[in-house]
């Protein structure tokens, strides 16, 4: 007779199951919970694609005139995390700032802003506002870097307002 078989005497009741030996683990309840969780997540999940949220129009936005603003335009670069800086309103090759050396680029930005607020640019009219325009693919860190470079010069006291404009690239 093997050790697994239990002989019952008359009137004795057979136990429902054998008690696990020390070190054995009954995983049946864990399997049950796993299947219950799986069923719950399948039933409650939404498999439809979410559509892009439609953002409302700004209620308190104002227009900014480029005639009394020094404008810096930023576009996304092929280099990851970098922006191409143009020291003008719009994209033109002659207005493109130095791209290879960031310190030299920041110095060029500061000089452009200083000249604009002193009235020594081609228009000859001193500027009152600083407008930084960026397309939607330019990282925020680049916009912040250009804003800090533009406001670090001595003209910070003469800048009435700093405007940031971000628009999705068309």
* Bigger pLDDT: 56 vs 138: 138
CATH number at residue 148: 3.30.420
pLDDT at 40: 94
| pLDDT interval class at 148 (50, 70, 90) | confident
CA distances, 81 to each of 63, 86, 105, 139 (Å)? 29, 17, 16, 6
Residue 152 domain-assigned? yes
Residue 83 domain-assigned? yes
- Residue-number span of the structural domain to which 83 is assigned: 69-167
Residue 82 domain-assigned? yes
Domain count within the chain: 1
| pLDDT interval class at 35 (50, 70, 90) | very high
Residue 63 domain-assigned? no
Average pLDDT, the chain: 77
Upper half-sphere CA count for residue 151 (Cβ side, 13 Å):
18
Residue 62 domain-assigned? no
Residue 150 domain-assigned? yes
- 8 A C-beta contact, residue 130 and residue 69: yes
| Cα gap 28→54, rounded to integer Å | 49
Is the pLDDT assigned to residue 138 strictly greater than 80? yes
Six token digits for residue 53: 């949220």
* Bigger pLDDT: 29 vs 168: 29
Residue 49 domain-assigned? no
Six token digits for residue 118: 């002193």
Residue 27 domain-assigned? no
Measured between its terminal Cα atoms, the distance across the chain in Å is 85
* Bigger pLDDT: 113 vs 59: 113
Predicted TM-score (pTM) of the model is: 0.59
Rounded to 10 deg, the angle between the 140-151 and 102-118 helix axes is: 50
Is the pLDDT assigned to residue 47 strictly greater than 80? no
User: Across the beta sheet with 83-86, what order do the strands follow?
Assistant: 83-86, 69-76, 129-135, 161-167
């Amino acid at each position: 007779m093997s050790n697994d078989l239990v002989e019952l005497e008359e009137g004795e009741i057979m136990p429902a199951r054998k008690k696990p030996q020390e070190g054995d683990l009954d995983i049946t309840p864990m399997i049950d919970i796993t299947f219950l969780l799986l069923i719950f997540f399948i039933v409650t999940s939404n498999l439809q694609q979410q559509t892009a949220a439609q953002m409302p129009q700004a209620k308190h936005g104002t227009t900014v005139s480029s005639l009394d603003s020094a404008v810096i335009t930023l576009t996304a670069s092929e280099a990851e995390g970098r922006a191409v800086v143009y020291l003008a309103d719009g994209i033109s090759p002659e207005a493109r700032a130095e791209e290879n050396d960031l310190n030299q680029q920041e110095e060029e930005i500061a000089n452009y802003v200083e000249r604009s607020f002193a009235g020594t640019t081609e228009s000859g009219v001193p500027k009152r506002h600083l407008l930084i325009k960026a397309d939607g693919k330019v990282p925020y860190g680049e916009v912040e870097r250009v804003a800090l470079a533009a406001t670090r010069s001595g003209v910070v006291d003469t800048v009435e307002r700093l405007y940031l404009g971000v628009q999705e690239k068309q």
